[in-house]
Structure 1
């Protein structure tokens, strides 16, 4: 197994860059380290302590020749742990939580969305890396035999709201509207009416959500046990009702268009470039990307950036996003139906992603998470997806 120094060497960086742009005749002359804070990458921080392979983000200043021109660019080399190591780390967190979650989790460890993270992020960048809302990708390296999974991307400098998860108030109306416009463009470009193709084995579906129902119960029980101030009886009852309603609400979701969603879209994985045309969203860390209704990303983002003083703006931003998505696709004319599907997407987000967040929070607290949970439950209060499901159940 090679050391981090090998992967940060001029020879390896040249190999990545040349393979990514073979027509440019790239030759790397010098690579020097740059300081970089890894703490924002939760999976890397947690997994690094449980593997002997080099993982993490390495800042590099790269001087290279391309097309006969000498250039210097700041880059980040991301060495990803294999998904099985991430899954093993998460299993250890579940066992540290104790109770039902410790007993239930191992059976589902490979199905919670993390087992294929090393493949998924590279695949997304390989297929879509030139998109405006992506960071510049300089190289990709996927060596399954030796479990080396590397992404060489731009060093995000001179950007706004980088790692701003602790400062949601800095997300102004300008930032939010720019994000929603550009998300609508992304989601419209990747929309698949009706049933989307199955790309990854842990892609959400009625079958997937129902098969993992014991895990959703255990995650909810863990959150309620350790954080009763956040997961009070009424909230727990709502999410238990949601678990029981998976077949009904997914029967609705299955009939609606799916798109490629980031599935981790929040201020930990986003920043902005200020350009002559205005703010440009940059979304990175696509390792959890999947196919879901387009509202899913918006539900997550608003849960992260809207505190109590801006809860009243949630329907305003949802409607702003719907109008842009409809203008691009012609598929979302009905605001009431659009918000209903957003509410059903919120059920998935609460059962799965928030449940996993709370599992990690039990062992290693995340200061940002309590306000996100509170904002999420306000989402359910505003959109009332469970009331709709109760009506469906009565009608049947």
Structure 2
């Protein structure tokens, strides 16, 4: 299929009917809409490496739904296959040179990107009593053509939503926005707490665990060395030493994390992938999209990332207060998080995974294609783990989890 084939009324009608078989949907006309998709970094970077049509496309769709005429503004996301993204990132690692270039190819299928094409489709098929997801009109998977798509509501800044792609303006995230986001995030995490082994397995072989994190320890070391050598003003000797200590203590701190409840996390929850709507009562409602990195981790993990992105230095002191707001909301829904001290411990230990994995990958990309917001995020992240003493957990190496080295 060509790109134009995906915009034809017949195709859109087919996938919309498949998504909602109980509804009688007829698509009558489709017009293109302008769309800013600059925040979708993975799709943009992979578009130039894929022979298949990929990207985000705005559409104005005239349709009949159960006999009622309506016009919907929608976004069709033609997703790159995960292996194309993984290959693109391996090329980026090669451009960095050094240990990252040597080691990354051994792990490129285990860094969370190999299965992005179907992870997002799975996430959009989840029950969502929290209202966190955008309205999903259809999903489409054609493995024979390696083609995957989602059809979503059009999120329009200033018209239906606010704080769309606000990554460069953390000051716009007011106290009301942050608390509303954390309250709704707690509802999502509560609804997906304690996944079954089958549910975890459905998200691939790179769902975080002690064994997984230890297996990739050589990659975390290489990513850290790349960041420390290229950005010493951010990865100071003391900060780099703290993350090296974290790598050495993976078995020990994951022994603690294994005792904490897990849930379905967004794993890319930041202002590039979120916005806010107003409900009928005028209350703020968080909307999170781009779920291609979704996985299972502690519920605190998404909070680590969100606060690292929206709290600048003048608000670091509010981090404990926002974490406590989130804990209380999650505990009210589940009755399982009464111990505030243990909850804070889980928050800081989950932050180590974010620092070793996601932040390391971010700075690998930053080495080749600078992200202007990333230095601020790094400083906020290091404030998250300030004062964390890993020595209390003991020290462990690769014997317990079968460390693989290259």
Q: TM-score, normalised by structure 1?
A: 0.96
Q: Which residue in the other structure is 1:187 paired with?
A: 189
Q: Does 2:289 align with 1:290?
A: no
* Equivalent-residue separation in structure 1 for 2:383 and 2:366 (angstroms): 20
* Equivalent-residue separation in structure 1 for 2:126 and 2:376 (angstroms): 35
Describe the superposition over 1:259-294 as per-residue Cα deviations: whole angstroms up to 9, x where unpaired.
001000000000000123300110000110011011
Q: 1:323 aligns with which of 322, 325, 328?
A: 328
Q: Does 2:400 align with 1:390?
A: no
Give the C-alpha shift of residue 201 in structure 1: 1.0
Q: Which residue in the other structure is 2:120 paired with?
A: 121
* Equivalent-residue separation in structure 2 for 1:198 and 1:366 (angstroms): 33
Q: Which residue in the other structure is 1:86 paired with?
A: 85
Q: Which residue in the other structure is 2:401 paired with?
A: none
Describe the superposition over 1:76-132 as per-residue Cα deviations: whole angstroms up to 9, x where unpaired.
000000000000000000000000100000000000000000010001112236751
* Equivalent-residue separation in structure 1 for 2:200 and 2:295 (angstroms): 11
Q: 2:350 aligns with which of 307, 328, 345?
A: 345
Q: Which residue in the other structure is 2:201 paired with?
A: 198
Q: Which residue in the other structure is 2:404 paired with?
A: none
Contact 1:194–1:257 (Cα < 8 Å) also in 2:
no
The residue matched to 1:328 in structure 2 has which SS?
Answer: helix
Contact 2:81–2:116 (Cα < 8 Å) also in 1:
yes
Describe the superposition over 1:48-69 as per-residue Cα deviations: whole angstroms up to 9, x where unpaired.
1111211010000000111011
| 1:242-321 equivalent positions in 2, closer than 5 A | 242-277=246-281, 278-321=283-326
* Equivalent-residue separation in structure 2 for 1:301 and 1:330 (angstroms): 24
Indicate the larger mover: 213-222 or 9-18. 9-18
Give the C-alpha shift of residue 194 in structure 1: 10
Structure 1 pair 365–332 and aligned structure 2 pair: CA distance change class (3 A): same
Structure 1 pair 76–101 and aligned structure 2 pair: CA distance change class (3 A): same
Alignment gaps of 5+ in structure 2 = 397-406
* Equivalent-residue separation in structure 2 for 1:155 and 1:313 (angstroms): 33
Q: Which residue in the other structure is 1:220 paired with?
A: 224
Q: Which residue in the other structure is 1:333 paired with?
A: 338
Structure 1 pair 97–186 and aligned structure 2 pair: CA distance change class (3 A): same
Contact 1:26–1:64 (Cα < 8 Å) also in 2:
yes
| 1:70-149 equivalent positions in 2, closer than 5 A | 70-128=69-127, 132-149=131-148
Aligned residue pair count: 390
Contact 2:130–2:187 (Cα < 8 Å) also in 1:
no
| 1:11-22 equivalent positions in 2, closer than 5 A | 11-22=10-21
The residue matched to 1:166 in structure 2 has which SS?
Answer: coil
The residue matched to 1:127 in structure 2 has which SS?
Answer: coil
The answer to which structure has the higher helix fraction is 1
Alignment gaps of 5+ in structure 1 = none
Contact 1:129–1:137 (Cα < 8 Å) also in 2:
no
The residue matched to 1:366 in structure 2 has which SS?
Answer: coil
Give the C-alpha shift of residue 331 in structure 1: 1.1
* Equivalent-residue separation in structure 1 for 2:224 and 2:14 (angstroms): 46
Q: RMSD of the TM alignment (CA)? A: 1.5
Contact 2:82–2:116 (Cα < 8 Å) also in 1:
yes
Q: Does 2:168 align with 1:166?
A: yes
Describe the superposition over 1:131-152 as per-residue Cα deviations: whole angstroms up to 9, x where unpaired.
5111000111001111110100
Contact 2:200–2:207 (Cα < 8 Å) also in 1:
no
